[in-house]
Amino acid sequence: MNNKHFAKLLIDWYETNKRALPWRESSDPYRIWLSEVILQQTRVAQGLPYYEAFVSKYPKVEDLAAAPADEVMRTWQGLGYYSRARNLHACAQQVVDLYGGKFPETYEQLLQLKGIGSYTAAAIASFAFKEVVPVVDGNVYRVLARIFGIEADIADAKTKQIFESKAAELISQEHPDAFNQAIMEFGALHCTPHNPLCMTCPFQQACVAYRGGLQRALPVKSKKVKVRTRHFYYLIMKDEKERLLVKQRQAGDIWQGLYDFPLIESESPLDTEQLKAALKTTFGLDRVTTVEDVAGKTFKHILTHQRIYASFVSISLTQSDISKINQNPQIAHNEWVNEAKLEELPKPILIEKFLKIMI
């Protein structure tokens, strides 16, 4: 099968089978960029309401650039991978500051923007500006590995180059936008990871994986992700005005910029006595008498590389404890907030789940 024939079969399949998605109706680079950033590592069904929320709250890139950081994080809340939200905001500001609110039109220029990697740059450049540059995401790896029998390990960063070259050979010169949309959609709907629809596949005859029964073996991915287990003991502390102590998470860990509660972290579960000892060493609170599990359960929260077990414990504070907390430089970035303010703050979904039960 020559390259032109491949592209034609793929685009024909796409025209018949594509899903009607709102960003596909648009050639506006701002909307395309929003949808691509939101959909990375997120299913369409989950990402769609977020896309709609962003478009309605921030119809233009200037609106997003001018929005307060906390509000952008709040709108993103629940999608995970919060560095993407921070980059989204920073990128919108760059587009306004450097390009007067108009996205640059080439792959190379787009690559210079905050948070835009080769995949997103290729998607915007081809969908919005019809530049002939291939997209390569997980779906594309799978489709190309199977049809052409590419056995390179996709966990190895160097492999990307092999797939990019193959996609660059195949991409339609006339319709790079449709080709790129089509190959990703084909991977998402037809040549799926576990149950590829080989019986109705337009590439069946040419497909190396189909002919060799290698659908499960391709693409090759060797590296196992190491999962880290963390036990969080969130401290529910109230002052005399019934305000809760919250803290903003800092750089260097998950959920940067979001708000949760001060916490004691451990690699293994802690009992009440161990918790009291940790309160003393971590926060200087040496006279805490009551430590109560307020939710009555442990929340399990799974991230790509982490498994978090979170408990929420209320601790009784004296006035002198509160002064100690307020003066403790280790507990910087803390704030006493009332219920209304707590509601407004951007928070990890784990904290939202807890608050839903408790408030």
Other Cβ atoms closer than 10 A to 130 = 15
Cβ closer to ligand SF4: 10 or 128? Answer: 10
Which residues here bind ligand SF4, judged by CB under 6 A?
Answer: 146-147, 190-191, 196-198, 201, 203-204, 207, 209-210, 215
Cβ closer to ligand SF4: 146 or 231? Answer: 146
Other Cβ atoms closer than 10 A to 305 = 10
CB of 273 to ligand SF4, least distance (A): 57
Please tell me the distance from the alpha carbon of residue 2 to that of residue 6, in angstroms, as a whole number.
6
Q: Which amino acid is at 295?
A: A
Question: How many residues belong to the chain?
Answer: 359
36 noted as active-site residue: yes
Q: What is the DSSP string of 270-320?
A: --HHHHHHHHHHHH-------EEESSSSPEEEE-SSEEEEEEEEEE---HH
CB of 132 to ligand SF4, least distance (A): 23
Nearest to 127 by CA among 10, 6, 20, 26: 26
CB of 41 to ligand SF4, least distance (A): 22
Cβ closer to ligand SF4: 16 or 327? Answer: 16
CB of 169 to ligand SF4, least distance (A): 17
CB of 135 to ligand SF4, least distance (A): 17
CB of 216 to ligand SF4, least distance (A): 10
Cα-based distances in Å from 25 to 119, 190, 316 = 20, 22, 56
**Cβ-based neighbours of 154, under 8 Å, separated by 6 or more:** 141, 145, 163, 219, 220, 221
291-293 vs 228-236, strand pairing mode: unpaired
Cβ closer to ligand SF4: 208 or 342? Answer: 208
Q: Select which of 36, 131, 164, 185 is catalytic.
A: 36
- Cite the DSSP H helix spans in the chain: 3-17, 29-39, 44-57, 61-66, 69-76, 82-99, 107-111, 118-129, 138-148, 159-170, 176-189, 208-212, 272-283, 319-327, 339-344, 349-358
Cβ closer to ligand SF4: 85 or 209? Answer: 209
Cβ closer to ligand SF4: 204 or 318? Answer: 204
**Catalytic residue positions?**
36
